[in-house]
C-alpha cells in the first residue's frame, strides 16, 4: 500500500484488555519486525484499566499488576504500548461497558496521532447465537463508529478550548482489520492467515508475562479450557493446543500456528495485492485471495 512518507509500515493494534494482543497478533507483529526491522513501527493500545478480571486481588492491585505484565511483554516483543485514557487522565473501566462519546474521542485522538497504515481490532459478532465478551464488542463497535471520523479534523473540540484549526492537515485513514476472537469461537471467519509458527516461542514468552491471567484468572474463571501451567514449557503445550483448536475451527493446517484477520470496509479498502505484499507469511491459497479481491473491488 502507499507507504508513510518516512517509508515505515505503521500498525496499531487496538483491543480491550491486557493480554488480548498476545492471543491475536503478537506473531504477526514479530514477523513484520523481523522482515522490516526499523521500517516497522507497531503499537499496542489497550482500552480498559484491567481492574475487573481477578478473583483474589483488589481492583487496584489487579490493574497495577496487569499494567506491569503488559510492559514486560512489550519489552520482550519490542513494540510500543500505551493505555487509552479519558480526558481526566484515568483509563476506561473494564467490564460490561458501552460505547460513549468519551471513548470515541479518545480513540479518535490516538489514531490520529499515530497515523497507522493498518489498524487491527476485535470483530463485531455476526452470529446472534455467538458468545461475546462485552469489552471486545464495545471496542469493535467504537472503532467502526469512529473510523469515518479519523480524517474529520473538527469531529471533537480541542480540550484546551482553542479555536478550530482553519487549515487542518489531511490525514490518511488506515485499512482496518478484525482479529480472531476466542469468545466467539465457532463463529469466526477470516480473509488472510499469517503463519506465525516461526515466532511461536516469542508468543509463548510474551503471553507468559501475563501470569495473573494465564495461571490465575483464566483457569479460575473456567471459560477458556486453560489449565494452570507450572512452567513455560507447560504453557507452550497449552498454547500449541490452543493454536491447533483454532486451526481446526478455521480449516487451516493444524501443524502450524496461525493468526487470522478479516478485512473490513470501515476504513480504507485495500487491494488483495497490497495485503499480499504488506503481510508476511500469508497462507498460500490463491483461491481465497481471488475471492477476497472480488469483494474488495465491489467495496471500493
Ligand atoms: Zn480480552
CATH number at residue 83: 3.40.50.10320
Q: Cα–Cα distance between 226 and 165 in angstroms, integer?
A: 51
Q: Kindly state the DSSP code that residue 117 receives in the 8-state scheme.
A: S
State in Å: Cα 175 to ligand 1 middle. Answer: 22
State in Å: Cα 160 to ligand 1 middle. Answer: 33
Q: Does a structural domain hold residue 40?
A: yes
User: Tell me: the pLDDT tens digits for 93-108?
Assistant: 998 678 999 999 999 9
State in Å: Cα 213 to ligand 1 middle. Answer: 11
State in Å: Cα 274 to ligand 1 middle. Answer: 29
Answer for the pair 6, 38: CB distance below 8 angstroms, yes or no: no
Q: Which three cell numbers mark 6?
A: 518516512
State in Å: Cα 73 to ligand 1 middle. Answer: 16
State in Å: Cα 17 to ligand 1 middle. Answer: 5
Q: Does a structural domain hold residue 2?
A: no
State in Å: Cα 127 to ligand 1 middle. Answer: 19
| 263 has a pLDDT exceeding 70 | yes
List of E strands, the chain: 9-15, 40-46, 80-83, 118-121, 175-179, 192-195, 258-263
Give the pLDDT band of residue 7 (cuts 50, 70, 90): confident
State in Å: Cα 20 to ligand 1 middle. Answer: 5
State in Å: Cα 293 to ligand 1 middle. Answer: 30
Q: What is the pLDDT of residue 3?
A: 47
State in Å: Cα 92 to ligand 1 middle. Answer: 14
State in Å: Cα 287 to ligand 1 middle. Answer: 32
Q: Does a structural domain hold residue 235?
A: yes
State in Å: Cα 19 to ligand 1 middle. Answer: 7
Q: Does a structural domain hold residue 4?
A: no
Q: What percent of the chain has pLDDT over 70?
A: 98
User: Tell me: the pLDDT tens digits for 108-164?
Assistant: 999 999 999 999 999 999 999 999 999 999 999 999 999 999 999 999 988 888 888
Nearest CA to 262 out of 107, 117, 121 is that of 121
Q: Does a structural domain hold residue 105?
A: yes
Q: Cα–Cα distance between 100 and 244 in angstroms, integer?
A: 37
Query: Span 71-98, mean pLDDT?
Result: 93
- Count structural domains, the chain: 1
Answer for the pair 43, 110: CB distance below 8 angstroms, yes or no: no
Q: What is the pLDDT of residue 1?
A: 56
Answer for the pair 14, 43: CB distance below 8 angstroms, yes or no: no
Q: Does a structural domain hold residue 163?
A: no
Spell out the residues 6+ positions from residue 100 whose beta carbon is closer than 8 angstroms to its own: none
Q: Cα–Cα distance between 296 and 243 in angstroms, integer?
A: 28
pTM (2 d.p.): 0.95
State in Å: Cα 211 to ligand 1 middle. Answer: 15
State in Å: Cα 95 to ligand 1 middle. Answer: 10
The parent domain of residue 204 ranges over 9-157+170-299
State in Å: Cα 6 to ligand 1 middle. Answer: 33
State in Å: Cα 45 to ligand 1 middle. Answer: 12
User: Tell me: the pLDDT tens digits for 46-73?
Assistant: 999 888 888 888 889 989 999 999 999 9
State in Å: Cα 134 to ligand 1 middle. Answer: 9
Q: What is the pLDDT of residue 30?
A: 98
State in Å: Cα 38 to ligand 1 middle. Answer: 29
State in Å: Cα 171 to ligand 1 middle. Answer: 29
Q: Does a structural domain hold residue 222?
A: yes
Mean pLDDT of the residues in the chain: 93
State in Å: Cα 273 to ligand 1 middle. Answer: 31
| 198 has a pLDDT exceeding 80 | yes
State in Å: Cα 29 to ligand 1 middle. Answer: 18
Q: Does a structural domain hold residue 1?
A: no
Query: Span 196-211, mean pLDDT?
Result: 97
Q: What is the pLDDT of residue 119?
A: 98
Amino acid at each position: 500500500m502507499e507507504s508513510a512518507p518516512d517509508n515505515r509500515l505503521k500498525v496499531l493494534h487496538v483491543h480491550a484488555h491486557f493480554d488480548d494482543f498476545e492471543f491475536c497478533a503478537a506473531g504477526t507483529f514479530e514477523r513484520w519486525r523481523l522482515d522490516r526491522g526499523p521500517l516497522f513501527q507497531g503499537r499496542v493500545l489497550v482500552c480498559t484499566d484491567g481492574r475487573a478480571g481477578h478473583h483474589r486481588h483488589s481492583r487496584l492491585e489487579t490493574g497495577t499488576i496487569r499494567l506491569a505484565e503488559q510492559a514486560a511483554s512489550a519489552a520482550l516483543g519490542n513494540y510500543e504500548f500505551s493505555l487509552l485514557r479519558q480526558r481526566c487522565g484515568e483509563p476506561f473501566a473494564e467490564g460490561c461497558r458501552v460505547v460513549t462519546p468519551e471513548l470515541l474521542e479518545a480513540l479518535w485522538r490516538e489514531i490520529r496521532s499515530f497515523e497507522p497504515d493498518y489498524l487491527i481490532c476485535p470483530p463485531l459478532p455476526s452470529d446472534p447465537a455467538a458468545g461475546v465478551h462485552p469489552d471486545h464488542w464495545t471496542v469493535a463497535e467504537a472503532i467502526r463508529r469512529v473510523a469515518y471520523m479519523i480524517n474529520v479534523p473538527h469531529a471533537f473540540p480541542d480540550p484546551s478550548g482553542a479555536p478550530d484549526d482553519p487549515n487542518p492537515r489531511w490525514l490518511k485513514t488506515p485499512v482496518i482489520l478484525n482479529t480472531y476472537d476466542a469468545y466467539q469461537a465457532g463463529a469466526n471467519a477470516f480473509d488472510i492467515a499469517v503463519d506465525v509458527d516461526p515466532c511461536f516461542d516469542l508468543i509463548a514468552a510474551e503471553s507468559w508475562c501475563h501470569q495473573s491471567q494465564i495461571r490465575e484468572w483464566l483457569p479460575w474463571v473456567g471459560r477458556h479450557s486453560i489449565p494452570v501451567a507450572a512452567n513455560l514449557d507447560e504453557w507452550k503445550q497449552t498454547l500449541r493446543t490452543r493454536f491447533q483448536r483454532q486451526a481446526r475451527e478455521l480449516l487451516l493446517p493444524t501443524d502450524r500456528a496461525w493468526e487470522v484477520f478479516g478485512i473490513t470496509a470501515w476504513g480504507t479498502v485495500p487491494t488483495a495485492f497490497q495485503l499480499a505484499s504488506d503481510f508476511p507469511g500469508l497462507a498460500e491459497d490463491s483461491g481465497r485471495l481471488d475471492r477476497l479481491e472480488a469483494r474488495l473491488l465491489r467495496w471500493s
